[in-house]
């Protein structure tokens, strides 16, 4: 028996969990918000810490120190690090940041991303090259933005790291060797999950000159040891860490219910989708993590709740007073345009209005059915490429709504699991640390991570409602095809 730490440096805070290496049981925890350093950018509206677009990386270290205060790490043998994805730390020849780090929610690179798509010959060219079509959040687009907006600063950039790479490097005492993992690398826009290799030419295309990229190490490898002798594992991005913490495997999918939505699954190979509808990422175990994004999830529920003068809990209660199919009402929830299918300039549609359907409970249910049918469309993109989906993990606060739990299994066509609340990203980082420690000690294989206890949660089966749910899906698909013919090609 030993103990390890999982460190999650998100966009707003640092959370640390201390776990038993054999079972994954949480022994103790630490938490601290990120400070707001003087001069840090607060975003276009002077927003709070969680919405700022730039930050001095030292703030992450200060937060880490606060979270680990009081002897939290006493007895720990290894540390795993996960951090916000799509952040970018740019270093000069001496290893010093040339400017504050750019974080994932920075939307200023939208035009830069479109420029890059055109520069390589279109979406299909990017999908074939790295399995990722540039979006504003991704590091490759941030490099192009920097080259256009701050050319003098861009010329000083000699090396680029992501937040978890930088934190691992700091914990190790800033050694000459810089590392990353395949999961984090796969989201940059200049590493291919299919070929398991960097595309330095794409980083050069974005920035205008070659830069040094970190060494990609295996899932069970150690990045090194701290000056005090603590083993530091490879680290990974938050999505990959959450999947590892949940214990997601082949046959599982994860549906994340935020304002927008995402669906990902573990698969045995990288998937290339010519239009870029699938983002081909790598996971934290040596497998692959194809992801499909939607622009609309809980925002459709909140908009409907506002319209009906209630909140999400009230909307859920209303929806359960209706019946499957919402008396013929169908909501296409494309309130912000849509990414899956690719309809960036469209708007939402409410179809099937009849006198008998014009009641609050039917509109409420149509909102839930529309949101879940949109996510089922995303799931079907993966299923259409041979991804097995037998079980779906639902994440996000909206997963606890009774209407979601009642409607989701039949519409998604699979068993639905709503895990108990936990910091699965930090748990995934701790599990990675336990794996690297076990390999170093000779007690674990590099091919088999530690078998930690599965997370507790509620399980919902489609059961006899499956046929009814598929009829509701067909009603939705019919309206979608009539409104947007051939949207899915």
Whole-number mean pLDDT of the chain?
Answer: 95
d(CA 462, CA 339): 27
- Going 87 to 290 to 182 to 235, the CA torsion angle's sign is positive
DSSP H or E run through 253: strand 251-257
pLDDT at 51: 55
Q: Which residue has the tokens 């259409």?
A: 384
Asked whether the beta carbons of 48 and 35 are under 8 A apart, the reply is: no
pLDDT mean over 15-26: 97
pLDDT in tens, 309-357: 999 999 999 999 999 999 999 999 999 999 999 999 999 999 999 999 9
d(CA 378, CA 371): 11
The answer, yes or no, to whether residue 41 has pLDDT greater than 70, is no
Give the list of residues 6+ apart from residue 431 with CB closer than 8 angstroms, or none: 6, 19, 24, 80, 244, 245, 449, 450, 452
pLDDT at 159: 98
Please, what is the angle between helix 110-120 and helix 200-207, to 10°?
Answer: 120
The answer, yes or no, to whether residue 489 has pLDDT greater than 90, is no
The answer, yes or no, to whether residue 1 has pLDDT greater than 80, is no
d(CA 346, CA 433): 45
Q: How confident is the model at residue 48 (pLDDT cuts 50, 70, 90)?
A: very low
d(CA 247, CA 265): 12
Burial class (CB in 10 A: 0-12, 13-18, 19+), 140: buried
pLDDT at 174: 97
Q: How confident is the model at residue 52 (pLDDT cuts 50, 70, 90)?
A: confident
Find the length of the chain: 489
Asked whether the beta carbons of 26 and 51 are under 8 A apart, the reply is: no
pLDDT mean over 205-234: 97
d(CA 80, CA 435): 10
Q: What are phi and psi of 70, to 5 degrees?
A: 75, 25
pLDDT mean over 236-242: 97
Angle (CA) 185 454 452, round 5°: 70
d(CA 139, CA 102): 9
Q: How confident is the model at residue 104 (pLDDT cuts 50, 70, 90)?
A: confident
pLDDT at 362: 98
Q: pTM above 0.85?
A: yes
């Amino acid at each position: 028996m030993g103990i390890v730490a999982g460190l999650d440096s998100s966009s707003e805070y640092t959370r640390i969990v201390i776990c038993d290496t054999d079972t994954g049981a949480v022994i103790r925890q630490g938490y601290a918000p990120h400070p707001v350093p003087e001069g840090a950018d607060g975003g276009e509206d002077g927003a709070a810490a969680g919405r700022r677009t730039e930050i001095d990386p030292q703030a992450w270290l200060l937060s880490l120190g606060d979270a680990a205060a009081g002897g939290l790490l006493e007895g720990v043998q290894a540390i795993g690090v996960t951090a916000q994805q799509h952040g970018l730390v740019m270093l000069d020849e001496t290893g010093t940041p040339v400017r504050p780090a750019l974080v994932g929610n920075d939307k200023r690179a939208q035009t830069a991303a479109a420029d890059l798509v055109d520069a390589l010959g279109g979406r299909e060219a990017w999908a074939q090259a790295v399995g990722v079509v540039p979006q504003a959040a991704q590091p490759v687009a941030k490099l192009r933005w920097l080259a256009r907006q701050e050319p003098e600063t861009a010329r000083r950039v000699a090396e680029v790291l992501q937040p978890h790479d930088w934190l691992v490097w700091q914990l190790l005492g800033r050694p000459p060797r810089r590392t990353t993992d395949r999961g984090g690398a796969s989201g940059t826009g200049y590493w291919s999950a299919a070929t398991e290799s960097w595309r330095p030419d794409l980083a050069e295309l974005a920035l205008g000159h070659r830069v040094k990229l970190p060494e990609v190490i295996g899932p069970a490898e150690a990045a090194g040891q701290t000056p005090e002798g603590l083993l530091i594992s490879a680290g990974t991005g938050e999505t990959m860490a959450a999947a590892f913490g949940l214990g997601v495997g082949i046959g599982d999918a994860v549906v994340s219910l935020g304002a927008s939505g995402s669906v990902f699954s573990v698969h045995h190979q990288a998937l290339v989708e010519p239009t870029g509808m699938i983002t081909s990422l790598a996971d934290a175990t040596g497998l692959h993590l194809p992801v499909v994004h939607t622009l609309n999830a809980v925002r459709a529920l909140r908009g409907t709740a506002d319209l009906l003068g209630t909140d999400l809990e009230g909307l859920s209660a209303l929806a359960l007073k209706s019946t499957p199919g919402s008396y013929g009402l169908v909501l296409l929830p494309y309130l912000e345009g849509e990414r899956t299918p690719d309809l960036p300039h469209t708007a939402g549609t409410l179809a099937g209005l009849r006198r008998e359907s014009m009641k609050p409970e039917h509109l409420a249910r149509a909102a839930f059915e529309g949101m879940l049918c949109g996510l089922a469309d995303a799931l079907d993109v993966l299923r259409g490429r041979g991804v097995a989906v037998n079980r779906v993990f639902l994440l996000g606060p909206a997963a606890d709504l009774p209407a979601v739990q009642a409607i989701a299994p039949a519409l998604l066509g699979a068993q639905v699991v709503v895990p108990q609340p936990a910091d699965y990203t930090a748990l995934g980082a701790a599990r990675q640390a336990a794996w690297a420690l076990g390999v170093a000690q000779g007690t674990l294989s590099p091919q088999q991570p530690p078998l930690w206890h599965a997370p507790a949660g509620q399980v919902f089966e489609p059961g006899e409602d499956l046929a009814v749910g598929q009829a509701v899906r067909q009603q939705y698909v019919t309206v979608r095809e009539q409104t947007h013919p051939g949207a899915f090609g």
